[in-house]
Amino acid sequence: MGGSLALSLKKLDFINEIVGSDHNIQHQSDALKLGLVDRVVAFEDVKNYDVIILAIPVNGIIGALQKLTDIPQAATVIDLGSTKEIILASVPPKIRKNFVAAHPMTGTENFGPYAALEGLYEDKVVVLCDLEESGELQSTIARKIFRSIGMKKYFMKSHEHDRHAAFISHMPHAISYSLANTVMKQENKRNILLLAAGGFRSMSRLAKSSPTMWEDIFRQNKKNLLEAIELFEGELTSLKTSIQNDEWDKVHSTLQQGSDLHNVLD
């Protein structure tokens, strides 16, 4: 997410310099080699910049915010985390006006500097949460940045965002990991390689995502995620029961209802 954003920001004429900070030495080297950043700096030094973007795991965002309490009054801090309510609750009051909570609804299952993609953010949605609590300057800067890289802006309360994200993003990741584990425990690698076609590959793709990142997301959005999983389990159990009872009309109806989703998406 961070590397892709850097590629987009480099094209903007109002951005003078892009620096990066990462505790991973290899990531630092890769980011410089790929031209994602102009320089690598220590985290302490990011306080010298007008805009600080936290493109790190959600628990890391909370920790980073505690180290930014002495930033200048005019500085803007934007996070790109996939959860929002707990992050916003953890923002030190002293810098609440500096902070803008954003969730770009984009990304891939890959991570690290080599996962950076040109144009990843273009024509995608960014959700800005509780923006009325951010400073006017910081709100304006965040809106300008996301507008300039071609994103569509939507506004929500943080608790609304987290519930929606549980169904649209977090539950699908939980299902993908579970599907991958189910197949790995039943099939040998040769069969998987020979037989795994488009459907399995598509549904298991998300399981390539960073386990560390998604463990943090699941922890922060536990309540909403559990609700989503329980509702999904109910749907799956209902389908299972119809199949067990040879109720093929019900099976067909269930499948038809599910296929109607793409009338919304397409």
Secondary structure of 135-188 in HEC code, one letter for each residue = CHHHHHHHHHHHHHCCCEEEEECHHHHHHHHHHHHHHHHHHHHHHHHHHHHHCC
Predicted pLDDT of residue 266: 66
Kindly give the parts of the chain with pLDDT less than 50.
none
Predicted pLDDT of residue 226: 98
- Provide the 10 A C-beta neighbour count for residue 251: 15
Selected from 3.40.50.720, 1.10.260.40, 1.10.10.60, 3.10.129.10, the CATH number assigned to the domain covering 2-156 reads: 3.40.50.720
Domain ranges of the chain: 2-156, 161-244
- Provide the 10 A C-beta neighbour count for residue 170: 24
Class of domain 161-244: mainly alpha
Contact 3, 27 (CB under 8 A): no
